[in-house]
Structure 1
Amino acid sequence: MSPSLRRPTLADRLQAQWLTGGALSAALLPLSWLYRALLALRQLAYRTGLTHVQTLPVPVVVVGNWIVGGAGKTPTTLALLELLRARGLRAGVVSRGYGRDGDGVRLVTRVSTAREVGDEPLLIHLRGLVPVAVGRDRVAAARALLAAEPGLQLLVSDDGLQHWRLPRQLSVLVFDERGLGNGRLLPAGPLRQPPVPLLPDHLVVYNAPQASTTLPGFVAERRLAGAVTLADWWAGKPASMDTLLALRALPGLLAVAGVARPQRFFDMLHGLGLRLGGLALPDHADFATLPWPADTAGVVLTEKDAVKLPPGRVGALPVWVVALDFSPGSGFEAALDQQLQKLSLPA
């Protein structure tokens, strides 16, 4: 059944009310107040010294958000890594590895699977060409990564804004079109934490056509960078816009997306003139079974999905991977340089 024809579930209704408010959201307000109280207790534990922020020998940059769901942290992380590389800095990445089997610390390698380390950390390792460690305990993951890669000059945490044990010298907050939603905390709203005034070590990136909150920040530019066959993607070959545009002439293609906002991916493909069906999957879909019909003529995937599909699994079916070109803009670069100078890192 088409996603647009599927009967809305309770979760669908709640997520819609996370943007606008409504009776269901209002009914959950007591749980939001409890969540706020628990957050306040955690903050009190840190302020009184019952719990401590840990220390690490290199600076940490956290890429995160206040709102639950995919706001664009991983594209922002990849763009940040490219900016750091251009400045001659050697960075590593730590992440929880959402959706993987187990919570322990693990180093990501080219032969790791998404089930072992998570789809986004594996994508960051393959696409960003940087060392990555995953673990529920980000501090333990950071220490393991630094022990394995002693030449690292700084660490980037993909998510972890609310992992307060992890020290951070710079926080990059990412927002999409949802902004702050209805302004309520979980579960009555989408906020992971109450909004707070920006600190000098905060930078805001809007993964949206325009700013979606009143916070000063930088509007990112995003566009499709091209396509490459699944086999060539795994071989490390770059995407080509010519390859992507050539798909306009092929009938019967199906776009498949197991990401937080699949319609955004479909709309971008349609905007380039590709006329293809869309199959929206749950975020972090594991592709344990191939989700498309057996008679599908060809499949177009996101990179986040490609990391879960080694070429041998799709047989003779033509599959292309579409890459995203994401840039936080020149204003962000200038602000980042100022922050790096404060950390005594070259910019």
Structure 2
Amino acid sequence: MIERIWFGGEHWYWLLLPFSWLYGLVSAVVKTSYRLGWRKTSRFPLPVVVVGNLTAGGNGKTPVVLWLVTHLQQRGWRVGVVSRGYGGRAARYPLLLNDKTLPGEAGDEPVLIFQRTGAPVAVSPRRVDAVAALLKQQTLDVVITDDGLQHYALARDIEWVVIDGVRRFGNGWWLPAGPMRERAHRLDSVSAVITNGGQALPGEVPMQLQTGEAINLLSGQTCSVESLSQVVAMAGIGHPPRFFATLRAKGVAPVREVSFADHQSYRHEQLSVLTSPGQVLVMTEKDAVKCRDFAQENWWYIPVNARLPDGDKERLLAPIEQLIRQYRRGVVSNN
């Protein structure tokens, strides 16, 4: 129902407008308090890059974070990642991830980023504490914050906003009447706008999600997505229909599509009943990190990667690398 109100043209949003006005007022007061120095903003002696959203729900932010971390690593930079760790409940914060950290502790997206990139990752509701924990552990050249565009307690040097190119901003209202955390004019102050699918507007960087081979959760075996048959598709992400559409675009017609809430926790008995004999369960990589401990032989996941135009790669990475070099020169000169 809320999706139809936000993006489907339903007019019942007006019932929620008083709450949206309150949300907008509180957000404006908080932002102003940091801008005027009434509340403390912490700055660290290295570049901080925020990859965030203006809207609630899945826009493809995590694939962009993976793209950025991977490309900076390939160029020899030491990259750390911080996150709120939404969906995780750690015994204490900040939490530094390791090979034994569970999604139930750190959240699914930080675990996915850690497993995929090997970069040091820390989570905390206070991202300032997460950055401090990373820097106490090791020397870094740059910190990427997964989400946190509205977390103004952490000073940042560069901001990227990822938007859904198909749904964009829906009805344009603040939460809960609409999907907006901040209004669209916030795009005027960010370093880059990356548009996932749909039609990128002038000045925006177009992005497509590119699927890899399907991977078996239990054995690690790989196969082409197209070779899978009798597929039951499931997704617990911000916008499950995008995953189902991706499968259909690869020529896979699921016999059933099952949507779960974003950051959903799973149990074996909950998922084992989704398939009948001869069927396979196919999920997102974000779901897979929460299911490996009780996976079955017929469970597969499909990783996705952000694909950005080669011509935009340097435009996005060059300002970050310039800041890193400035930081490193400063470290050398101070020693």
TM over 0.5: yes
- The answer as to whether partners of 1:169 and 1:201 remain within 8 angstroms in 2 is no
Residue type at the aligned position of 1:303: E
Match of 2:285 among 284, 300, 303: 303
Q: What is the rounded CA distance, in whole Å, between the counterparts of 2:307 and 2:79 in structure 1? A: 18
- The answer as to whether partners of 1:208 and 1:219 remain within 8 angstroms in 2 is yes
Q: What is the rounded CA distance, in whole Å, between the counterparts of 1:331 and 1:308 in structure 2? A: 36
Q: Secondary structure at the match of 2:304?
A: strand
TM-aligned CA deviation for residue 215 of structure 1: 6.5
Residue 89 (structure 2) aligns with:
101
Residue type at the aligned position of 1:207: N
- The answer as to whether partners of 1:208 and 1:220 remain within 8 angstroms in 2 is yes
Which 5+ residue runs of structure 2 have no aligned equivalent? 327-335
Q: Secondary structure at the match of 1:220?
A: strand
- The answer as to whether partners of 1:226 and 1:324 remain within 8 angstroms in 2 is no
TM-aligned CA deviation for residue 265 of structure 1: 1.4
Residue 148 (structure 1) aligns with:
137
Q: Secondary structure at the match of 1:345?
A: helix
TM-aligned CA deviation for residue 197 of structure 1: 5.2
Residue 318 (structure 1) aligns with:
298
Cα deviation code 1:104-145 (max 9, x no counterpart) = 210111111110110000000001221100110000011001
Residue 40 (structure 2) aligns with:
52
Q: Secondary structure at the match of 2:266?
A: coil
Residue type at the aligned position of 1:268: T
TM-aligned CA deviation for residue 48 of structure 1: 2.7
Alpha-carbon spacing, 1:19–1:263, altered in 2? closer, same or farther (3 Å): closer
Residue 56 (structure 2) aligns with:
68
Alpha-carbon spacing, 1:325–1:39, altered in 2? closer, same or farther (3 Å): closer
Match of 2:234 among 256, 261, 265: 256
Cα deviation code 1:1-38 (max 9, x no counterpart) = xxxxxxxxxxx1x3212125544211211221111211
Residue 267 (structure 1) aligns with:
245
Residue 219 (structure 1) aligns with:
206
Alpha-carbon spacing, 1:24–1:228, altered in 2? closer, same or farther (3 Å): same
Residue type at the aligned position of 1:283: D
Q: What is the rounded CA distance, in whole Å, between the counterparts of 1:333 and 1:158 in structure 2? A: 19
Alpha-carbon spacing, 1:76–1:341, altered in 2? closer, same or farther (3 Å): closer
TM-aligned CA deviation for residue 244 of structure 1: 2.6
Q: What is the rounded CA distance, in whole Å, between the counterparts of 2:150 and 2:178 in structure 1? A: 17
Match of 2:198 among 209, 215, 226: 209
Q: What is the rounded CA distance, in whole Å, between the counterparts of 1:222 and 1:38 in structure 2? A: 35
Residue type at the aligned position of 2:298: P
- The answer as to whether partners of 1:105 and 1:144 remain within 8 angstroms in 2 is yes
Q: Work out whether 1:173 is the aligned partner of 2:161.
A: yes
- The answer as to whether partners of 1:133 and 1:145 remain within 8 angstroms in 2 is yes
Identity %: 35
TM-score by length of 2: 0.88
Q: Work out whether 1:338 is the aligned partner of 2:294.
A: no
Q: Work out whether 1:132 is the aligned partner of 2:121.
A: yes
TM-aligned CA deviation for residue 60 of structure 1: 0.5
Q: What is the rounded CA distance, in whole Å, between the counterparts of 1:53 and 1:117 in structure 2? A: 24
Q: Secondary structure at the match of 1:343?
A: helix
Q: What is the rounded CA distance, in whole Å, between the counterparts of 1:320 and 1:101 in structure 2? A: 26
Residue 81 (structure 1) aligns with:
69
Residue 264 (structure 2) aligns with:
285
Aligned length: 320
